[in-house]
Amino acid sequence: MKKILVLGAGGQIGTELVPHLQKNYGYDNVIAADLRPEIVAKLGQNSRAVVMNALEMEAYAKFVKSEGIDTIYNLVALLSATGEKNPQLAWNINMGALLNSLNIAQEYKCSIFTPSSIGAFGENTPHYKTPQDTVMRPNTIYGVCKVTGEMLSDYYHSRFGVDSRSVRFPGIISNGALPGGGTTDYAVEVFYEVAKRGKYTCEVPQDTYMDMLYMPDALEAMTQLMEADPSKLVHRNSFNVTSMSFTPEQLFTEIKKRVPSFTWDYEIDPVKAQISASWPDCLDDTCAREEWGWNPKWGMDAVIDDMLAACRKKVENGEY
Protein backbone atom coordinates (compact mmCIF):
# COMPACT_ATOMS: atom_id res chain seq x y z
CA MET A 1 0.00 0.00 0.00
CA LYS A 2 1.22 3.47 -0.86
CA LYS A 3 1.99 6.19 1.70
CA ILE A 4 1.27 9.47 0.01
CA LEU A 5 2.15 13.09 0.73
CA VAL A 6 0.25 15.84 -1.12
CA LEU A 7 2.12 19.15 -1.02
CA GLY A 8 0.13 22.30 -1.69
CA ALA A 9 -2.97 20.34 -0.71
CA GLY A 10 -5.11 23.42 -0.07
CA GLY A 11 -5.18 24.54 -3.70
CA GLN A 12 -7.66 23.87 -6.50
CA ILE A 13 -6.23 20.44 -7.37
CA GLY A 14 -5.12 19.37 -3.90
CA THR A 15 -8.48 19.81 -2.17
CA GLU A 16 -9.99 17.28 -4.57
CA LEU A 17 -6.93 15.06 -5.03
CA VAL A 18 -6.72 14.24 -1.32
CA PRO A 19 -10.20 12.61 -1.08
CA HIS A 20 -9.61 10.93 -4.45
CA LEU A 21 -6.39 9.36 -3.14
CA GLN A 22 -8.06 8.42 0.15
CA LYS A 23 -10.72 6.55 -1.80
CA ASN A 24 -8.08 4.66 -3.79
CA TYR A 25 -5.45 4.04 -1.11
CA GLY A 26 -7.17 4.43 2.26
CA TYR A 27 -7.69 7.39 4.60
CA ASP A 28 -4.60 6.76 6.73
CA ASN A 29 -2.28 6.51 3.75
CA VAL A 30 -2.74 10.07 2.51
CA ILE A 31 -1.31 13.14 4.23
CA ALA A 32 -2.27 16.64 3.12
CA ALA A 33 0.38 19.33 3.57
CA ASP A 34 0.03 23.06 3.09
CA LEU A 35 1.91 26.16 4.12
CA ARG A 36 -1.13 27.98 5.52
CA PRO A 37 -2.21 26.93 9.05
CA GLU A 38 -5.83 28.04 8.53
CA ILE A 39 -6.08 25.89 5.39
CA VAL A 40 -4.48 22.94 7.17
CA ALA A 41 -7.04 23.27 9.97
CA LYS A 42 -9.77 22.97 7.34
CA LEU A 43 -8.08 20.07 5.53
CA GLY A 44 -7.67 18.37 8.89
CA GLN A 45 -11.44 17.95 9.23
CA ASN A 46 -11.40 15.31 6.50
CA SER A 47 -7.83 14.07 6.27
CA ARG A 48 -4.53 13.78 8.04
CA ALA A 49 -3.03 17.22 7.54
CA VAL A 50 0.19 19.03 8.45
CA VAL A 51 1.59 22.53 8.10
CA MET A 52 4.63 22.27 5.88
CA ASN A 53 6.80 24.63 3.86
CA ALA A 54 8.23 22.69 0.92
CA LEU A 55 11.11 25.15 0.80
CA GLU A 56 12.29 24.06 4.24
CA MET A 57 14.24 21.04 3.11
CA GLU A 58 15.27 19.68 6.48
CA ALA A 59 11.80 19.54 8.02
CA TYR A 60 10.32 18.23 4.74
CA ALA A 61 12.91 15.43 4.50
CA LYS A 62 12.51 14.51 8.17
CA PHE A 63 8.76 14.21 7.75
CA VAL A 64 9.03 12.02 4.65
CA LYS A 65 11.45 9.74 6.48
CA SER A 66 9.47 9.49 9.71
CA GLU A 67 6.15 8.82 7.95
CA GLY A 68 7.64 6.35 5.46
CA ILE A 69 6.29 8.35 2.51
CA ASP A 70 6.78 6.59 -0.84
CA THR A 71 4.77 8.85 -3.16
CA ILE A 72 4.81 12.65 -3.41
CA TYR A 73 2.32 14.80 -5.30
CA ASN A 74 4.05 18.16 -5.50
CA LEU A 75 1.33 20.69 -6.31
CA VAL A 76 3.13 23.77 -4.97
CA ALA A 77 3.02 26.56 -7.57
CA LEU A 78 2.27 30.17 -8.27
CA LEU A 79 0.15 30.20 -11.46
CA SER A 80 0.69 32.13 -14.68
CA ALA A 81 -0.98 35.51 -14.05
CA THR A 82 0.19 35.77 -10.42
CA GLY A 83 3.69 34.72 -11.48
CA GLU A 84 3.98 37.74 -13.78
CA LYS A 85 3.34 40.05 -10.83
CA ASN A 86 6.38 38.67 -9.01
CA PRO A 87 8.59 36.52 -11.26
CA GLN A 88 11.40 36.14 -8.72
CA LEU A 89 8.99 34.80 -6.10
CA ALA A 90 7.38 32.48 -8.67
CA TRP A 91 10.78 31.03 -9.59
CA ASN A 92 11.81 30.60 -5.95
CA ILE A 93 8.59 28.86 -4.94
CA ASN A 94 7.95 26.76 -8.05
CA MET A 95 11.53 25.59 -8.53
CA GLY A 96 12.43 25.46 -4.84
CA ALA A 97 9.57 23.10 -4.04
CA LEU A 98 10.36 20.93 -7.04
CA LEU A 99 14.11 20.69 -6.42
CA ASN A 100 13.57 19.80 -2.76
CA SER A 101 10.94 17.23 -3.73
CA LEU A 102 13.19 15.62 -6.34
CA ASN A 103 16.12 15.44 -3.92
CA ILE A 104 13.91 13.93 -1.24
CA ALA A 105 12.42 11.51 -3.78
CA GLN A 106 15.94 10.43 -4.69
CA GLU A 107 17.03 10.02 -1.06
CA TYR A 108 13.94 8.17 0.15
CA LYS A 109 13.05 6.35 -3.08
CA CYS A 110 9.71 8.06 -3.58
CA SER A 111 7.70 8.27 -6.77
CA ILE A 112 6.91 11.87 -7.56
CA PHE A 113 4.19 13.60 -9.57
CA THR A 114 4.52 17.31 -10.42
CA PRO A 115 2.00 18.88 -12.78
CA SER A 116 3.30 20.69 -15.82
CA SER A 117 1.00 22.87 -17.91
CA ILE A 118 -0.02 24.19 -21.31
CA GLY A 119 1.93 27.18 -19.99
CA ALA A 120 5.11 25.29 -20.86
CA PHE A 121 4.44 26.12 -24.53
CA GLY A 122 5.05 29.46 -26.19
CA GLU A 123 4.30 31.65 -29.19
CA ASN A 124 6.37 29.62 -31.67
CA THR A 125 4.89 26.28 -30.60
CA PRO A 126 2.47 24.87 -33.21
CA HIS A 127 -0.90 25.94 -31.78
CA TYR A 128 -3.14 23.43 -33.49
CA LYS A 129 -2.88 19.82 -32.33
CA THR A 130 0.24 20.76 -30.41
CA PRO A 131 2.48 17.67 -30.52
CA GLN A 132 3.89 15.93 -27.46
CA ASP A 133 7.45 16.75 -28.49
CA THR A 134 7.74 20.22 -29.96
CA VAL A 135 9.17 23.71 -29.57
CA MET A 136 8.89 24.93 -25.97
CA ARG A 137 9.89 28.58 -25.56
CA PRO A 138 7.37 30.06 -23.09
CA ASN A 139 7.39 33.77 -22.35
CA THR A 140 6.01 33.65 -18.80
CA ILE A 141 7.95 32.85 -15.64
CA TYR A 142 5.34 30.17 -14.92
CA GLY A 143 6.09 28.55 -18.27
CA VAL A 144 9.84 28.86 -17.78
CA CYS A 145 9.45 27.05 -14.43
CA LYS A 146 7.30 24.35 -16.04
CA VAL A 147 9.74 23.63 -18.88
CA THR A 148 12.65 23.63 -16.45
CA GLY A 149 10.65 21.39 -14.13
CA GLU A 150 9.93 18.91 -16.91
CA MET A 151 13.60 18.74 -17.86
CA LEU A 152 14.78 18.53 -14.26
CA SER A 153 12.31 15.73 -13.51
CA ASP A 154 13.44 13.78 -16.58
CA TYR A 155 17.05 14.39 -15.57
CA TYR A 156 16.45 12.98 -12.07
CA HIS A 157 14.87 9.96 -13.70
CA SER A 158 17.66 9.24 -16.19
CA ARG A 159 20.55 10.25 -13.89
CA PHE A 160 19.35 9.00 -10.51
CA GLY A 161 16.52 6.61 -11.34
CA VAL A 162 13.84 8.73 -9.63
CA ASP A 163 10.34 7.62 -10.63
CA SER A 164 9.15 11.06 -11.75
CA ARG A 165 5.97 11.46 -13.81
CA SER A 166 3.88 14.39 -14.97
CA VAL A 167 1.10 15.68 -17.22
CA ARG A 168 0.73 19.06 -18.90
CA PHE A 169 -2.55 20.22 -17.47
CA PRO A 170 -4.73 22.56 -19.45
CA GLY A 171 -7.24 24.75 -17.58
CA ILE A 172 -8.93 22.64 -14.93
CA ILE A 173 -12.64 23.30 -14.39
CA SER A 174 -13.87 22.37 -10.93
CA ASN A 175 -16.29 23.28 -8.14
CA GLY A 176 -14.24 22.46 -5.05
CA ALA A 177 -11.68 25.16 -4.23
CA LEU A 178 -11.46 28.12 -6.60
CA PRO A 179 -8.34 28.39 -8.74
CA GLY A 180 -6.17 31.41 -8.03
CA GLY A 181 -4.04 33.50 -10.34
CA GLY A 182 -4.33 31.46 -13.54
CA THR A 183 -5.15 32.55 -17.07
CA THR A 184 -7.71 29.77 -17.51
CA ASP A 185 -9.57 30.69 -14.28
CA TYR A 186 -12.33 32.44 -16.24
CA ALA A 187 -13.75 29.04 -17.22
CA VAL A 188 -14.39 28.33 -13.52
CA GLU A 189 -15.31 31.80 -12.25
CA VAL A 190 -18.04 32.25 -14.83
CA PHE A 191 -20.11 29.40 -13.35
CA TYR A 192 -20.05 30.92 -9.87
CA GLU A 193 -20.94 34.34 -11.25
CA VAL A 194 -23.81 32.92 -13.32
CA ALA A 195 -25.22 31.37 -10.15
CA LYS A 196 -24.67 34.44 -8.01
CA ARG A 197 -25.23 37.45 -10.28
CA GLY A 198 -26.31 36.14 -13.67
CA LYS A 199 -23.53 38.11 -15.38
CA TYR A 200 -19.80 37.87 -15.88
CA THR A 201 -16.96 40.13 -17.00
CA CYS A 202 -14.23 38.16 -18.73
CA GLU A 203 -10.56 39.22 -18.83
CA VAL A 204 -9.55 36.81 -21.60
CA PRO A 205 -10.26 37.80 -25.24
CA GLN A 206 -13.46 36.29 -26.58
CA ASP A 207 -11.91 34.32 -29.45
CA THR A 208 -8.97 32.70 -27.62
CA TYR A 209 -9.01 28.92 -27.72
CA MET A 210 -7.53 27.06 -24.75
CA ASP A 211 -7.67 23.41 -23.72
CA MET A 212 -9.70 22.46 -20.65
CA LEU A 213 -10.30 19.42 -18.47
CA TYR A 214 -12.93 18.66 -15.85
CA MET A 215 -11.57 17.85 -12.38
CA PRO A 216 -12.72 14.18 -12.30
CA ASP A 217 -10.67 13.55 -15.44
CA ALA A 218 -7.71 15.49 -14.03
CA LEU A 219 -7.77 13.33 -10.88
CA GLU A 220 -7.97 10.17 -12.95
CA ALA A 221 -5.03 11.37 -15.08
CA MET A 222 -2.84 11.71 -12.00
CA THR A 223 -3.60 8.36 -10.40
CA GLN A 224 -3.69 6.51 -13.70
CA LEU A 225 -0.27 7.82 -14.74
CA MET A 226 1.22 7.09 -11.32
CA GLU A 227 -0.09 3.51 -11.55
CA ALA A 228 1.08 3.03 -15.15
CA ASP A 229 3.49 0.26 -16.03
CA PRO A 230 6.88 2.06 -16.22
CA SER A 231 8.05 -0.18 -19.05
CA LYS A 232 5.30 1.31 -21.25
CA LEU A 233 6.34 4.92 -20.62
CA VAL A 234 8.35 6.33 -23.50
CA HIS A 235 7.79 9.80 -22.07
CA ARG A 236 7.63 10.80 -18.43
CA ASN A 237 7.78 14.54 -17.94
CA SER A 238 5.40 15.50 -19.22
CA PHE A 239 2.33 14.23 -21.12
CA ASN A 240 -0.14 16.38 -23.08
CA VAL A 241 -3.68 15.73 -21.78
CA THR A 242 -6.93 17.40 -22.81
CA SER A 243 -10.62 16.68 -23.24
CA MET A 244 -12.01 19.87 -24.81
CA SER A 245 -11.02 23.21 -26.25
CA PHE A 246 -13.19 26.31 -26.56
CA THR A 247 -13.14 30.11 -26.57
CA PRO A 248 -14.77 32.25 -23.85
CA GLU A 249 -17.48 33.30 -26.32
CA GLN A 250 -18.29 29.68 -27.17
CA LEU A 251 -18.51 28.73 -23.48
CA PHE A 252 -20.73 31.70 -22.60
CA THR A 253 -23.01 31.03 -25.58
CA GLU A 254 -23.49 27.43 -24.42
CA ILE A 255 -24.20 28.59 -20.86
CA LYS A 256 -26.78 31.06 -22.17
CA LYS A 257 -28.66 28.24 -23.92
CA ARG A 258 -29.22 26.82 -20.42
CA VAL A 259 -29.55 30.12 -18.54
CA PRO A 260 -31.23 32.54 -20.97
CA SER A 261 -30.94 35.52 -18.61
CA PHE A 262 -27.10 35.24 -18.46
CA THR A 263 -25.18 38.23 -19.82
CA TRP A 264 -21.47 38.85 -20.18
CA ASP A 265 -18.93 41.40 -21.34
CA TYR A 266 -15.16 41.74 -21.61
CA GLU A 267 -12.59 43.87 -19.82
CA ILE A 268 -9.40 42.49 -21.25
CA ASP A 269 -6.42 42.05 -18.97
CA PRO A 270 -3.40 42.66 -21.24
CA VAL A 271 -1.25 40.17 -19.33
CA LYS A 272 -3.85 37.41 -19.61
CA ALA A 273 -4.43 38.31 -23.26
CA GLN A 274 -0.74 37.95 -24.05
CA ILE A 275 -0.37 34.72 -22.07
CA SER A 276 -3.45 33.04 -23.52
CA ALA A 277 -2.49 34.02 -27.09
CA SER A 278 0.87 32.30 -26.65
CA TRP A 279 -0.65 28.99 -25.49
CA PRO A 280 -1.91 26.14 -27.69
CA ASP A 281 -5.42 26.18 -29.18
CA CYS A 282 -5.68 22.44 -28.76
CA LEU A 283 -3.27 19.72 -27.73
CA ASP A 284 -2.56 16.37 -29.32
CA ASP A 285 -2.67 13.88 -26.43
CA THR A 286 -2.04 10.71 -28.45
CA CYS A 287 1.07 9.75 -26.47
CA ALA A 288 -0.84 9.76 -23.15
CA ARG A 289 -3.56 7.64 -24.74
CA GLU A 290 -1.06 5.15 -26.14
CA GLU A 291 1.44 4.94 -23.30
CA TRP A 292 -0.86 4.75 -20.27
CA GLY A 293 -4.43 4.58 -21.51
CA TRP A 294 -5.53 8.20 -20.96
CA ASN A 295 -9.21 8.38 -21.88
CA PRO A 296 -11.12 11.39 -20.47
CA LYS A 297 -14.84 11.00 -19.84
CA TRP A 298 -16.12 14.58 -19.59
CA GLY A 299 -16.99 16.71 -22.64
CA MET A 300 -18.10 20.34 -22.76
CA ASP A 301 -21.89 19.82 -22.53
CA ALA A 302 -21.74 17.50 -19.53
CA VAL A 303 -19.27 19.78 -17.76
CA ILE A 304 -21.49 22.84 -18.23
CA ASP A 305 -24.56 21.02 -16.87
CA ASP A 306 -22.64 19.67 -13.89
CA MET A 307 -20.93 22.97 -13.07
CA LEU A 308 -24.15 24.98 -13.30
CA ALA A 309 -25.89 22.61 -10.88
CA ALA A 310 -22.95 22.46 -8.44
CA CYS A 311 -22.36 26.22 -8.36
CA ARG A 312 -26.08 26.95 -7.98
CA LYS A 313 -26.08 24.69 -4.92
CA LYS A 314 -22.99 26.42 -3.49
CA VAL A 315 -24.57 29.82 -3.85
CA GLU A 316 -27.86 28.59 -2.32
CA ASN A 317 -25.93 27.18 0.66
CA GLY A 318 -24.11 30.47 1.11
CA GLU A 319 -20.75 28.86 0.31
CA TYR A 320 -20.00 31.46 -2.36
Report the residue number, 60 or 169, with the smaller CB distance to ligand SER: 169
Q: Interface with ligand SER by CB under 6 A: which residues?
A: 79-80, 117-119, 142, 169, 171, 182-184
Q: How far is the CB of 309 from ligand SER (least distance, A)?
A: 23
Catalytic residue list contains 156: no
Of 142, 156, 186, 200, the catalytic one is: 142
C-alpha pair distances (Å), 269 with each of 143, 186, 237, 281: 18, 12, 31, 19
Q: How far is the CB of 146 from ligand SER (least distance, A)?
A: 8
Please give the residue whose beta carbon sits closest to ligand SER in the complex. 182
Q: For 85, left (φ over 0), alpha (ψ -120 to 50), or beta?
A: alpha
Report the residue number, 13 or 64, with the smaller CB distance to ligand SER: 13
Q: How far is the CB of 118 from ligand SER (least distance, A)?
A: 6
Q: How far is the CB of 183 from ligand SER (least distance, A)?
A: 4
Helix ranges (DSSP H) in the chain: 14-25, 37-43, 57-67, 80-85, 87-108, 141-160, 186-196, 215-227, 248-258, 270-278, 286-292, 300-316
Q: How far apart are the C-alpha atoms of 18 and 21, rounded to whole Å?
A: 5
Report the residue number, 122 or 182, with the smaller CB distance to ligand SER: 182
Q: How far is the CB of 77 from ligand SER (least distance, A)?
A: 9
Instruction: Give 188: exposed, middle or buried? Use CB within 10 Å, 0-12, 13-18, 19+.
Output: buried
Report the residue number, 32 or 283, with the smaller CB distance to ligand SER: 283
In sign, the C-alpha dihedral spanning 106, 111, 112, 117 is positive
Q: How far apart are the C-alpha atoms of 276 and 258, rounded to whole Å?
A: 27
Q: How far apart are the C-alpha atoms of 77 and 146, rounded to whole Å?
A: 10
- DSSP labels for 216-263? HHHHHHHHHHHHS-GGG-S--S-EE--SEEE-HHHHHHHHHHHSTT-E
Report the residue number, 14 or 171, with the smaller CB distance to ligand SER: 171
Report the residue number, 7 or 81, with the smaller CB distance to ligand SER: 81
Q: Do residues 71 and 5 make contact, with C-beta atoms less than 8 angstroms apart?
A: yes
Q: Return the closest-CA partner of residue 302 out of 216, 209, 193, 210.
A: 216
Q: Which residues are catalytic?
A: 142
